[in-house]
Amino acid sequence: MRADAARNREKVLDAARELFAAQGYEVPLDEIAVRAGVGPGTVYRHFPTKQALFQAVTEARVAALIASANEPTDDPAAALFAFLGRMADEAEVKRDMSDAITVSSDLRKNLHAALDGLLTRAQEAGAVRADVTATDLVVLMKGMLQSMHEGANPSVLLQIVVSGLQSSRKP
Amino acid sequence: MRADAARNREKVLDAARELFAAQGYEVPLDEIAVRAGVGPGTVYRHFPTKQALFQAVTEARVAALIASANEPTDDPAAALFAFLGRMADEAEVKRDMSDAITVSSDLRKNLHAALDGLLTRAQEAGAVRADVTATDLVVLMKGMLQSMHEGANPSVLLQIVVSGLQSSRKP
DNA sequence: TGCCAACCGGGGCGTGCGTTCCGTATCGTC
DNA sequence: GACGATACGGAACGCACGCCCCGGTTGGCA
């Protein structure tokens, strides 16, 4: 790969990181190109599609998050809640977190699997209501993450969800 | 107004009700026109804009919902939770409920005011954590309502939120 | 029944966006 | 320093959608 090509690739990635984080997936690709100081064609030389660029930007972050879910622990409930907290923290600063779940089905599947493990163990420990599924949690979190950028208080939202998970099923 | 004009107006309203409920605000206006058996021009003869048509379809339902929030009660917490339940029930069947909050700022304002009243009274009764604001609730409900159509169990989601609201603030 | 106003259909315009194409500039090698 | 491959930029395409316009049609009143 030529030197300037590598440089441009980085400029595109930097611009994409910044704009996806600020505005989410809906930011026009042309804006990213302008911010990077290149033409739209150049973006497509390095990434076959807008989705691919988005994944290149978010994949590593989300993968790290998911990896942190698989560390063994002796307090399953605390592990689950800590994970939700990390997701919320990440989403509070970067708007692309919630879009990542929507755009990439791979990512969503991985997240689902990670949450499933955490959730099941927390439920076996009796710390989380038994009628919640991993799907419920993914969806609930996605709703929460989106809500964070519309004026709500993120920590209050998270506490509500965590408390709600701990309460027992209504008759 | 001519007889056929009135008939077409009703056909458009029926089609809009059905398609907005099924697919939300994003449904193309042309689809509504096709479903109604008329041309797009006819839709615009009766409603100046797509938003206007959407409001014509949703306004009454949401207004009724909001009105139900203002009935006096002696159990403020139950009133609040019942209201949230009604919102959830409505959204479970009709996808346009959550869009209504987004599209019409009037509707959003009214909903905010209604929730503010319910919430404040429930908090004064000590039944709901004091650090939640009406904005938090509107946004959280919007996220939840959107999420309901993605495979989660609506009643579990609602129970989690309700339980979370009742729990006290973490130190 | 004839006439005019009201109304209808659908083709068309403007816009925004993802994506592609190609003439031109630039890099790296011989 | 010249040459070929590589990469660049941005104009252009296709598509989807909200919205408007106009030639033809229809309804209801005289």
What string of H, E and C letters represents the secondary structure of chain B?
A: CCHHHHHHHHHHHHHHHHHHHHHCCCCCHHHHHHHHCCCHHHHHHHCCCHHHHHHHHHHHHHHHHHHHHCCCCCCHHHHHHHHHHHHHHHHHHCCHHHHHHHHCHHHHHHHHHHHHHHHHHHHHCCCCCCCCCHHHHHHHHHHHHHHHHHCCCHHHHHHHHHHHHHCCCCC
Strand C bases within 7 angstroms of protein beta carbons: 6-12, 16-22, 26-28
CB A166 within 8 Å of CB B166? no
- What's the CA–C1' distance between B3 and D26, in Å? 11
Q: Which residue is it, tokens 């309203």?
A: B13
Question: Which of B140, B156, B165 is closest, CB to CB, to A147?
Answer: B140
* CATH class of the region B58-166: mainly alpha
Q: Is A78 left (phi over 0), alpha (psi -120 to 50) or beta?
A: alpha
* CATH class of the region A57-166: mainly alpha
Nearest protein residue, CA measured to C1' of C27: A2
Q: What's the token pair of residue B38? A: 């008329």
Q: What's the token pair of residue B169? A: 């603030």
pLDDT of residue A167: 84
- pLDDT for residue B171 is more than 60: no
Distance CA B20, CA B160 (A): 28
Residue type, A88: A
Q: What size, in residues, is chain A?
A: 171
Chain A residues in contact with B171 by the CB 8 A cut-off are none
pLDDT of residue B55: 97
- pLDDT for residue B102 is more than 70: yes
Distance CA A168, CA A159 (A): 16
For the domain spanning A1-47, the CATH number is 1.10.10.60
Q: Is B127 part of the contact surface with chain A (CB cutoff 8 Å)? A: no
Nearest protein residue, CA measured to C1' of D6: A2
Lowest mean pLDDT among A148-152, B12-16, B84-88: A148-152
Q: Quick check: A150 and B169 CB within 8 A?
A: no
Chain A residues in contact with B162 by the CB 8 A cut-off are 164
Contacts of B46 (CB under 8 A, 6+ apart): B5, B8, B9, B12, B53
Q: What's the token pair of residue A24? A: 């989410």
pLDDT digits (tens, 9 = 90+) for A44-83: 999 999 999 999 999 999 999 999 999 999 999 999 999 9
pLDDT of residue B169: 66
List the 147-166 stretch of A: residues with Cβ below 8 A of B. Answer: 147, 150-153, 156-157, 159-166
- What's the CA–C1' distance between A112 and D21, in Å? 52
CA-nearest of A71, B171, B36 to B28 is B36
Helix axes B96-103, B50-69, angle to 10 degrees: 100
Domain boundaries, chain A: 1-47, 57-166
- What's the CA–C1' distance between B37 and C6, in Å? 19
Q: CA nearest B161 in A: which residue? A: A164
pLDDT of residue A121: 97
In this prediction, the residues of chain A whose per-residue pLDDT falls under 70 are: 169-171
pLDDT of residue B167: 84
Burial class of residue B143, CB neighbours in 10 A (0-12, 13-18, 19+): buried
CA-nearest of B19, B5, B10, B9 to B96 is B19
pLDDT of residue A169: 66
Helix axes B50-69, B29-36, angle to 10 degrees: 90
Distance CA A154, CA A94 (A): 13
Rg (CA), chain B: 18
pLDDT of residue A156: 96
CA distance B161 to chain A (A): 6
Q: What's the token pair of residue A30? A: 């042309």
pLDDT digits (tens, 9 = 90+) for B108-167: 999 999 999 999 999 999 999 999 999 999 999 999 999 889 999 999 999 999 999 998
CB A124 within 8 Å of CB A162? no
Q: What size, in residues, is chain B?
A: 171
Q: How far is CA A25 from the centre of its chain?
A: 12
Q: Quick check: A139 and B160 CB within 8 A?
A: no
pLDDT band of residue B168 (cuts 50, 70, 90) is confident
Distance CA B29, CA A61 (A): 39
